């Protein structure tokens, strides 16, 4: 009898383990036979992505070296930045060349080269765009075509009519239908002209956090408070922001979501193989409350193919807590956890990547220049005070990433 009871208890425990394991796999996904995450052009296995910023390349040779470094380090997806703040890294009929390339035609097409060099190495190449920022820096742009000069009415103004101060990102107003149409047109240029595997949206929110553009201790104004925006809100709700602050926040959130929806519809009409992804706040509740970014709604409505929560927390407890919040979303879209590589120790980076992969999420490294040196005009690595830490990080992290890529 005791043996029978013991056997029964063993079977019950065994069944419980199977059920719990099945539940975990249903929530997080199984990496043993990982599904390809993108609808169209797919990468094999889990996504191992890296953000390459607009400061990381100046020439076709630079881009080839960037792609080779990404490939040999074990990454399979490159998020290649081509729009920072109303200027671009490709020939455009809508926006001027980026100051990072001298503000004029550099004699080559960086995005075309990136697609060519990335694809010949088997990498998935996604065009990374900052969506809502319209200018960046503490000086006005020199080019009269740049949005800050050409369309000043499109930018944020406070209740006193003052324009958002220079010093960080100056943003266009997504509440205006014509602004949304313009941004969709900019994205359409990329999707319709280049063989990108995806369009990766960053700053697809209100960039309304405090920065050095504001006086120390000052509160960031409640943007946008121009008369036209207030009139549109009042027409939609019959109230003012003071009368209905909750509705005011919800209405601004709806304008950002409408922009995402418009971009989604454009990509589907243009090329159904192009994935649409978004860099989102690591805590969706905070991002919704403070930046009017409703990423959970985007997932629910099928507006994005994957989300990249920017989980840049250095404390493993906080990092794990944020990671766990995204696990249930894995059943709807891939969750690609953004991990901060910049000025971090190798053991912490490896631990965070390992935690992400064990819980069924993919990962993206921020950023290329955290691992690799930028290049000088002769194609040689430029050293700076961070060079020794980069070398140490490469030595500690890249062998681990290569093992992941071969598993």
CATH of the domain at 203: 3.20.20.80
Confidence of residue 160 (pLDDT cuts 50, 70, 90): very high
- 95: its two tokens: 């926006």
In angstroms, rounded to a whole number, what is the distance separating the alpha carbons of residues 194 and 43?
A: 18
Instruction: Identify whether 152 is part of a domain.
Output: yes
Q: Interhelix angle for 346-358 vs 316-326, to 10°?
A: 20
The number of folded domains in the chain is 1
The range of the structural domain enclosing residue 210 comes to 45-406
What pLDDT is recorded for position 330?
Answer: 82
Cα dihedral 18/20/24/26 (nearest 10): 70
Over range 269-279, report the average pLDDT. 92
What does the pLDDT average to over 135-150?
96
The answer to whether position 1 is within a domain reads no
Give the pLDDT band of residue 328 (cuts 50, 70, 90). Answer: confident
Q: State residue 75's pLDDT score.
A: 97
On whether residue 8 sits in a domain, the answer given is no
User: Looking at the domain assignment, is residue 21 inside a domain?
Assistant: no
Confidence class of residue 402 from pLDDT cuts 50, 70 and 90?
very high
Which residues, in sequence order, are CB contacts of 382 under 8 Å at separation 6+? 373, 374, 375, 376
- Would you state the structure tokens that stand for residue 347, as one six-digit string? 């053991």
pTM greater than the 0.85 cutoff: yes
Look at residue 23 and tell me if it is in a domain: no
- Whether 33 is in a domain gets the answer no
HSE toward the beta carbon, residue 286, CA cutoff 13 A:
11
Kindly state whether residue 95 falls inside one of the protein's structural domains: yes
- Is 331 in contact with 354 (CB distance < 8 Å)? no
What's residue 129's pLDDT?
A: 98
pLDDT band of residue 38 (cuts 50, 70, 90) is low
Measured CA to CA, the distance from residue 209 to residue 211 in angstroms comes to: 6
pLDDT surpassing 90 at residue 335: yes
Q: Is 13 part of any domain?
A: no
Residue 364 near residue 308, CB atoms below 8 Å? yes
Q: What's the pLDDT tens digit per position in 211-265?
A: 988 988 889 999 999 999 999 999 999 999 999 999 999 999 999 999 999 999 9
Percent of the residues in the chain that have a pLDDT greater than 70, as a whole number: 89
């Amino acid at each position: 009898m005791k043996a029978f009871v013991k056997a029964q208890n063993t079977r019950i425990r065994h069944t419980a383990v199977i059920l719990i394991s099945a539940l975990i796999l249903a929530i997080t996904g199984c990496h043993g036979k990982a599904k390809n995450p993108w609808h169209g052009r797919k990468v094999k296995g889990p996504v191992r992505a890296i953000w390459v910023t607009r400061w990381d390349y100046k020439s076709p040779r630079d881009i080839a070296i960037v792609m080779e470094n990404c490939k040999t380090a074990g990454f399979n997806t490159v998020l290649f930045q081509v729009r920072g703040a109303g200027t671009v890294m490709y020939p455009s009929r809508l926006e001027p060349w980026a100051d990072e390339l001298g503000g004029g035609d550099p004699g080559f097409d960086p995005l075309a080269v990136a697609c060519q060099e990335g694809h010949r190495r088997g990498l998935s190449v996604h065009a990374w765009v900052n969506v809502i920022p319209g200018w960046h820096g503490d000086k006005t742009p020199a080019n009269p075509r740049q949005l800050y000069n050409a369309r000043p009415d499109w930018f944020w103004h406070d209740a006193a009519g003052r324009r958002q101060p220079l010093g960080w990102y100056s943003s266009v107003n997504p509440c205006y239908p014509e602004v949304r149409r313009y941004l969709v047109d900019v994205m359409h240029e990329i999707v319709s002209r280049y063989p990108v595997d995806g369009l990766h949206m960053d700053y697809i929110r209100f960039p309304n956090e405090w920065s050095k553009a504001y006086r120390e201790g000052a509160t960031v104004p409640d943007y946008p408070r121009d008369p036209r925006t207030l009139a549109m809100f009042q027409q939609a709700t019959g109230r003012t922001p003071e009368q209905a602050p909750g509705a005011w926040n919800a209405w601004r959130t709806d304008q950002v979501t409408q922009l995402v929806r418009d971009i989604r519809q454009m990509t589907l009409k243009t090329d159904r193989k192009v994935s649409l992804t978004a860099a989102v706040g690591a805590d969706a509740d905070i991002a919704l409350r403070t930046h009017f970014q409703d990423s959970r709604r985007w997932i629910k409505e099928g507006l994005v193919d994957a989300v990249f929560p920017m989980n840049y927390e250095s404390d493993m407890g906080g990092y794990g807590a944020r990671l766990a919040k995204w696990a249930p979303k894995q059943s709807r879209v891939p969750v690609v956890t953004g991990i901060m590589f910049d000025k971090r120790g190798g053991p912490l980076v490896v631990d965070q990547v390992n935690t992400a992969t064990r819980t069924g999420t993919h990962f993206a490294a921020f950023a290329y220049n955290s691992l690799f040196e930028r290049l000088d005009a002769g194609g040689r690595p430029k050293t700076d005070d961070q060079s020794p830490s980069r070398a140490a990080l490469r030595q500690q992290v890249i062998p681990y990433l290569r093992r992941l890529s071969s598993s």
